[in-house]
């Protein structure tokens, strides 16, 4: 199960490290071409989302042999983040939720594998 966890959690953490860093560091003007929803969210909320994504990624990467709780907590947080992201995309006219659904499934798998 540990190998399966790392197969799921490793790439998931890398995606969230990248996306979180973009949201924290880039201006909304530079994010707009890849994230159409940034104009509907206040800048502090955008930065907070990026910070939460970074924390979730780090939580997935903390070795579970060292501490048992960060991985399931991070996976749960990232799962909830995607549960909230889907309606944001759908209500804004952006119907591209395929990546959100994949990330939601991967976070659910990471959660399950982290407690199994």
All structural domains of the chain with their residue ranges = 2-115
Mean pLDDT of the chain: 93
Element (H, E) at 51: helix 43-61
Task: Give the tens place of pLDDT for each residue, 81-104.
Answer: 999 999 998 988 778 899 999 999
- Reduced 3-state DSSP string for 26-42: CCHHHHCCCCHHHHHCC
Q: Provide Rg for the chain, Cα atoms.
A: 14
The band of 6, judged by pLDDT with boundaries at 50, 70 and 90, is: very high
CA dist 60 → 27, 35, 40, 43, 85 (Å): 27, 24, 29, 26, 20
Task: Give the tens place of pLDDT for each residue, 73-87.
Answer: 999 999 999 999 999
The DSSP secondary structure of 82-106, one letter per residue, reads HHHHHHHHHHTT----HHHHHHHHH
Angle separating helix axes 70-91 and 2-25, nearest 10 degrees: 50
pTM as predicted: 0.93
- The C-alpha atoms of residue 44 and residue 112 are separated, in whole angstroms, by 32
């Amino acid at each position: 199960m540990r190998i399966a966890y790392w197969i799921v959690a490793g790439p998931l953490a890398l995606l969230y490290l990248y996306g979180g860093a973009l949201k924290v560091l880039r201006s909304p003007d530079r994010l707009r071409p890849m994230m159409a929803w940034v104009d509907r969210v206040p800048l502090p909320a955008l930065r907070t989302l990026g910070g939460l994504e970074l924390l979730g990624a780090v939580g997935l990467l903390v070795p579970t042999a060292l501490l048992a709780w960060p991985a399931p907590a991070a996976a749960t947080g990232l799962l909830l983040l995607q549960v909230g992201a889907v309606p944001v995309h759908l209500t804004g006219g952006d119907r591209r939720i395929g990546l959100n659904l994949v990330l939601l499934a991967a976070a659910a798998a990471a959660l399950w594998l982290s407690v199994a």
